[in-house]
Amino acid sequence: MVILGIDPGLLYCGYGIIKKDGSKVMLLDYGYLKLSSSKNIAQRLSTIHIFFDQLIQKYQVTDVSLETPFLGKNAQNFLKLGYVRGILYLLVHHHQAIIHEFSPREIKRALTGWGGAPKDQVAHVILNLFPRMEKPEREDVTDALAVTLCGLWNNSRTIPSLR
């Protein structure tokens, strides 16, 4: 099983890729896609499509985990995030992968034990679980890895060692 977790956005998309082979779990890749704010939405969506299509192919991704969006103060941002999610859904279907979705509270609870945990606490847990990992410059990356782990744990009866 190879799980791609994505923290979607129109300026930054964090991602993490974990492979589970028996009881062995390996962190394959992580990072973020930075999108230019000078590009229109169609151009950014195309970039997102190409980038994640290549990642899915390169790592032979079997599962994709996404954070469900929440309607904040700006309905336009919520709508635009739906465009990104649509592209990701299309890729999942095209590559015959399985999609998993988790609410922000579910992710925080799974990682920290508390659904209201701040982002820096989630990042702290991620860095403790992957001690060889350098601290990423953006929280989008640790958020994506948290989503990735939820996809892993959702498919496992027991939580494997991540060392």
> Residue 161's pLDDT is what?
40
> Residue 122's pLDDT is what?
94
Q: Is 137 one of the catalytic residues? A: no
Within a domain: 160: no
- Active-site hit among 63, 139, 140, 143: 140
Within a domain: 112: yes
- Active-site hit among 63, 67, 139, 143: 67
Say if residue 76's pLDDT is above 90.
no
What's the whole-number mean pLDDT along residues 53-80?
86
- Active-site hit among 7, 63, 139, 143: 7
For 4-39, the DSSP string reads EEEE--SSEEEEEEEEEETTEEEEEEEEEEE--TTS
Full domain range(s) for residue 138: 2-154
What is the domain-level CATH number for residue 134?
3.30.420.10
Predicted confidence (pLDDT) per residue in 128-149, tens digit = 999 999 889 899 999 999 999 9
Q: Is 67 one of the catalytic residues? A: yes
Predicted confidence (pLDDT) per residue in 26-48, tens digit = 999 999 999 999 999 999 999 99
Within a domain: 13: yes
Q: Is 140 one of the catalytic residues? A: yes
